[in-house]
Amino acid sequence: MLTTEQIINTMSEHGLRITDQRKTLAKLFGEHPGYLTAKDVYEYMGQKYSGLSFDTVYRNLRVMYELGVLEQVVFEEGIKFRGRCSEDHHHHHMICLQCQKTYPIMFCPMQLTDAPEDFQVVQHKFEVFGYCGECGKDQGEKESSPSIGGKRDGRV
Amino acid sequence: MLTTEQIINTMSEHGLRITDQRKTLAKLFGEHPGYLTAKDVYEYMGQKYSGLSFDTVYRNLRVMYELGVLEQVVFEEGIKFRGRCSEDHHHHHMICLQCQKTYPIMFCPMQLTDAPEDFQVVQHKFEVFGYCGECGKDQGEKESSPSIGGKRDGRV
DNA sequence: GTCCATGCAAACCATTTGCACATAG
DNA sequence: CTATGTGCAAATGGTTTGCATGGAC
């Protein structure tokens, strides 16, 4: 995953101004390995910036996504963001339903999927959901305070 | 995929009233093999029912989904519906980006994914996107009028 | 006749946009 | 100093809800 500095540098190189809010965003995504919704981010940022507005968060998430420092994934509950994965080789993810951390799976099923007949493959998705070692322990017990907003609803 | 009759019967058995609109919905999903958004459905139904309201469409889609006659999948553009797949064994799908038809993939990559360490797998998603034989031919040319709203934007 | 289904209007939620002021470079 | 970033308010788009009427059984 990109580090806080890498994120800031990329933004700076592309002519974006490094405001205090953006520094905080970079830090958040540079250090937090899981997926966050716009709301999660808003709530987190809100602790530090009292007058914070939702639209600024959205704007920055979008800018960062377009710049390529953030990834965006569609879950059932909505869109979530995380720092871009710096793995270079193609891979997939196991995603923890509680803490939302992701673990790379280097195995890609496409190699083994006999693209049938005349189907022209353009893209594929392979994602595994479950509970990671950390979160597997306290199965459904007390909310074991994940780094940021982790609800154990199991929806995907 | 479920047939029109199977859909209607299931609804009837569960005490739902078979209105004309619901018959049409059943027919739509019984005959159309691809994914449709609520809007697609609304537009299609609108041709036949002039006073149609969006909320009724939503309500019926929801009821049918909860009843299990429809499946629901999250795409980047939003949620889409299709008739429930009648394949009984676990399988995945190849989805045509143009006509939205789906083709089953019986191969499941989970067997081969060495669930690493202590990760407790709960669910997985494996989806392949591309163009099917039919749609592959006229690559990006004129809109070859897919059964219902097929835009070739390739987004997933 | 009873209760569910429908249309309408309004509420709701997430996201986007326009504008004036604040501030990084 | 200038252009970009921000907060505010309002618009937008998709979806849901409350209510009274209409229709299936």
pLDDT tens-place string over residues A77-115: 889 999 988 766 788 888 887 777 888 888 899 888 876
Q: What is the 3-state secondary structure (H, E, C) of A52-94?
A: CCHHHHHHHHHHHHHHCCEEEEEECCEEEEEECCCCCCCCEEE
The whole-model pTM stands at 0.78
Helix axis angle, A54-67 to A38-48, nearest 10° = 120
In this complex, the residue with its CA at the shortest distance from the C1' of nucleotide D25 is B17
For testing the chain A interface, which of B106, B123, B137 should be mutated: the one with the most A CBs within 10 Å?
B123
State the average pLDDT over residues A138-155. Answer: 45
All structural domains of chain A, each given as residue ranges with its CATH number in brackets, are 1-86 (1.10.10.10), 87-156 (3.30.1490)
Alpha helices by DSSP H, chain B: 4-13, 20-31, 38-48, 54-67, 133-137
Residue B24 and residue B44: Cα distance in Å, rounded?
A: 10
Using a CB–CB cutoff of 8 Å, tell me whether A58 touches chain B.
no
Count of CB contacts below 8 A, A vs B? 120
pLDDT in tens, chain B (156 residues): 899 999 999 999 999 999 999 999 999 999 998 899 999 999 999 999 999 999 999 999 999 999 999 998 888 788 999 998 876 678 888 888 777 788 888 889 988 887 666 888 888 888 888 888 888 765 544 444 444 544 444 445
Q: CA A54 – C1' D5 distance (Å)?
A: 14
pLDDT at B142: 41
